[in-house]
């Protein structure tokens, strides 16, 4: 996959099929877009392009601080695994925000990306004040020489539109089963293994610790049933994961910032500096501040049994 990250210096000479969006969740609706993109490109001999922004536009235009279900780095990795040809992570500022839909379509999608077809949802909106929409795409298609493929939005069991906002809500509730159902895959957290307080090892529960970016939308604090992938290895290890701030440790080395700590079953190796991806399947209990290491250990022994029983019965 060829990437253009945080640059406007782009000139793709291939004829391309393009999707545009934030794609911070890569949920079932996004997956449908990507499948259609690849199908259309294969039929017409085009290269695939996924166009997104380096920063969520709402964080610039409305001064919000919306977190991402999947970070930019996680999204890039998933798109590469899907076999996308080009990935654009375009810089976003107020100058870009002021481009009309027609300017964005002509100056970026056509001139920079070589767009011969656009695949979009039926609620597509882009450009200043959402002046770019399905009507504009259809109206200019013959003049500018591109095809338009529109797909309908995916819905949940209650006929709600599947959206990143809905998935964030489910993550906040710790409802991993529903969040994963909406995603069409398993929610995961990636990071480099770092040194923690090393107290887990003293009580028989050594953990792999990662400290996600503040832009990562983490689920409700607590203990989860998990599986872990190390690097690009296709092996998945069963895990017991705590998402939270480690409240039981008085003198926490990282001042109780959010972290993901995972105990792996039947695993004994040092992985400092290695990248891991932690997949969360089920919320087990809330994070608790324990009075002593003995009470923490007693609870972890119970958690270990409950999580293993769940993983053995549910995870294939």
Domains along the chain?
Answer: 2-151 (3.40.50.620), 186-314 (2.40.30.30)
Closest C-alpha among 127, 175, 195, 120 to residue 152: 120
Q: Is the pLDDT of residue 158 over 80?
A: no
The model's confidence at residue 248, banded by pLDDT at 50, 70 and 90, is confident
- Under DSSP, is residue 7 helix (H, G, I), strand (E, B) or coil? coil
Give CA–CA dist 13/238, Å, rounded: 45
At 316 the pLDDT is: 53
Identify the pLDDT of residue 153.
Answer: 76
Per-residue pLDDT band at 195 (split at 50, 70, 90): confident
Q: Name every residue whose Cβ is closer than 8 Å to that of residue 17 and which is 6 or more positions away in sequence.
A: 37, 40, 41, 44, 46, 47, 48, 49, 115, 116, 117, 118, 119
Least confident of 53-62, 214-223, 305-314: 53-62
Of 23-32, 244-253, 260-269, give the range with the top mean pLDDT. Answer: 260-269
Q: Is 135 exposed, middle or buried (0-12, 13-18, 19+ CB in 10 A)?
A: exposed
In whole angstroms, what is the distance from residue 186 CA to residue 225 CA? 12
pLDDT above 90 as % of the chain: 66
CA distances (Å), origin 281, targets 67, 219, 276: 21, 11, 16
Report the pLDDT averaged over residues 294-312: 95
Q: Please state the pTM of the whole predicted model.
A: 0.87
Name the percent of the chain lying above pLDDT 70: 97
Cα distance between residue 170 and residue 175, in whole Å: 5
Please tell me the distance from the alpha carbon of residue 181 to that of residue 187, in angstroms, as a whole number: 10
- Is the pLDDT at 1 greater than 70? The verdict is yes
């Amino acid at each position: 996959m060829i990437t253009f990250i945080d640059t406007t210096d782009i000139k793709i000479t291939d004829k391309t099929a393009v999707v545009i969006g934030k794609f911070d969740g890569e949920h079932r609706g996004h997956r449908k877009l990507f499948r259609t993109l690849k199908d259309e490109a294969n039929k017409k001999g085009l290269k695939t392009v996924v166009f997104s922004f380096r920063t969520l536009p709402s964080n610039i235009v409305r001064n919000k601080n919306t977190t991402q279900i999947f970070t930019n780095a996680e999204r890039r990795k998933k798109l590469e695994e899907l076999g996308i040809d080009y990935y654009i992570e375009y810089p976003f500022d107020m100058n870009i925000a002021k481009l009309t839909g027609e300017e964005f379509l002509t100056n970026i999608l056509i001139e920079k990306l070589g767009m011969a077809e656009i695949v979009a949802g039926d609620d597509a909106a882009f450009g200043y004040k959402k002046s770019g929409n399905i009507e504009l795409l259809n109206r200019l298609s013959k003049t500018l020489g591109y095809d338009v493929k529109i797909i309908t939005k995916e819905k949940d069991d209650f006929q709600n539109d599947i959206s990143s906002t809905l998935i964030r809500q489910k993550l906040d509730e710790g409802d991993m089963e529903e969040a994963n159902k909406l995603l069409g895959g398993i929610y995961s957290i990636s990071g480099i293994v770092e040194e923690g307080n090393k107290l887990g090892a003293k009580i028989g529960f050594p953990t792999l610790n990662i400290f996600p970016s503040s832009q990562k939308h983490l689920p409700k604090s607590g203990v989860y049933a998990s599986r872990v992938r190390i690097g690009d290895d296709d092996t998945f290890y069963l895990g017991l994961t705590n998402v939270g701030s480690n409240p039981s440790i008085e003198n926490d080395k990282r001042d109780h910032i959010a972290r993901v700590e995972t105990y792996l079953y039947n695993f004994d190796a040092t992985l400092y500096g290695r990248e891991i991806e932690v997949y969360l399947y089920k919320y087990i209990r809330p994070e608790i501040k324990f009075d002593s290491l003995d009470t923490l250990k007693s609870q972890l022994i119970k958690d270990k049994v409950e999580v293993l029983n769940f993983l053995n019965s549910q995870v294939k």
